Amino acid sequence: MIKPSLKRAVLVLADGTCFQGFAFGSMEKEVFGELVFSTSMTGYVELLTDPSYHQQILTLTCPEIGNCGVARCDAESDRIFAKALVVREISPMTSNWRADISLDDWLKEEGIPGIYGIDTRALVHHLRSHGSQMAILSTIQSADIFDLHQRAGQLQGMEGAELASEVSTKSPFEFTQGLFGTDGTQISALSKPRYHVAVIDFGIKKNMLRLLVHYGCRVTVLPSHALAHEVLDLKPDGLLLSNGPGDPEVAVAGIDTVRNLIGLLPIFGICMGHQVLSLATGAKTFKLKFGHRGANQPVIGDDGRVMITSQNHGFAVDDSALHASFKIAQTNLSDGTVEGLTVLDKWAFGVQYHPEAAPGPHDAQNHFVQFLSIMEMWKKTKSQNVLELEVVNHAEAF
């Protein structure tokens, strides 16, 4: 079986570590980004199209990638956001009835370079020991390693990087697509739209929107810079804060908007949205050494229940700087970092992981049902308050 190519490719880290292998995907290309790794065994289509990987070079720990080809309907956005792909082996053949194109050809089509034939175990061990760092991947045959090292060491890292505005929608739109089966056919929604949900897009994955539609929501997606009055003008029953790339502390517009909306309507934050929700009440975030990326992250709730979750983030909420109004609902079993928060008496909660699970697992998908329950309680409370106010006004009139 013939490999995609035997042309040279080189990956040079900011600290001077160098890996030489073979090129696949886009040839004669050079890209830079933060080098990170994911432990997911499946779902490379969803990972590559996740906007949270914007400005990052993705390493996959699964030793062989590409066997299943690419089913475009699995994409979480309209294009590949990862800057490059690093793997141990690229499969020379595709065997999947759902596939539209091979992984190698898809990367060529999207202009994304890749490197294979390197020891990804050694690379991941290095990142775990020394932390995620900036790197340059080049499939240019004449690339000079010393020059790449010099330039990689001068690259600005993710801290202070405002990237949400680069991947967010530029204008509001309605989203109506629900879930679909493995054969590509639409799955009927569980109910007709009962709730109107506004979504602030920091770099959202489509499956979050599909699940909202599936559970009976009318969905309006807003840009990352949406103002509080623009959200309220929609008269929504709830607000979803999405995932996204970059440093959450510099998402100033989103933080200010959420600060002005907390307590006025139900809010559900996912990943970066969870961090923005926390920052809006005065919390702090910090950069993790190498982040949490993969579909096997164990999370334990305050009820003792353990979930295996899908995660993709490089920052976390600092539990030492949390406001008294917060209750820590879940923590990471591996390192004890905050994974879930509830804002007491404010109809708001957030999770650091991905309950839409694309790719899986689906342990945490019930958070969408939780969000619906909160919106239902909020609507009833709101109606009761209006009724009580009408009664008081009527009594005062006599």
Active site members: 271, 354, 356
Q: Which two tokens stand for residue 305?
A: 């229940």
Cα separation, 110 vs 388, whole angstroms? 58
Q: What angle do CA 93, 95, 101 make, to 5 degrees?
A: 70
Cis peptide before 92 (omega within 30 of 0): no
- Amino acid identity for residue 186 in this structure: Q
Looking at the DSSP bridge assignments, the partners of residue 285 are 317
Q: List all residues 6 or more positions away from 65 whose beta carbon is below 8 Å from its beta carbon.
A: 44, 85, 87, 88, 89, 90, 91, 103
Query: Which strand (E) or helix (H) includes residue 384?
Result: helix 366-397
String of DSSP letters for 75-98: -SSSS--SSEEE-SEE-SS---TT
- 395 phi and psi, to 5 degrees? -65, -40
Query: Which strand (E) or helix (H) includes residue 157?
Result: none
Looking at the DSSP bridge assignments, the partners of residue 37 are 59
Q: List all residues 6 or more positions away from 76 whose beta carbon is below 8 Å from its beta carbon.
A: 46, 49, 50, 51, 205, 206, 207, 358
Q: List all residues 6 or more positions away from 375 whose beta carbon is below 8 Å from its beta carbon.
A: 195, 197, 237, 238, 266
Cα separation, 239 vs 52, whole angstroms? 20
SS3 state of residue 279:
helix
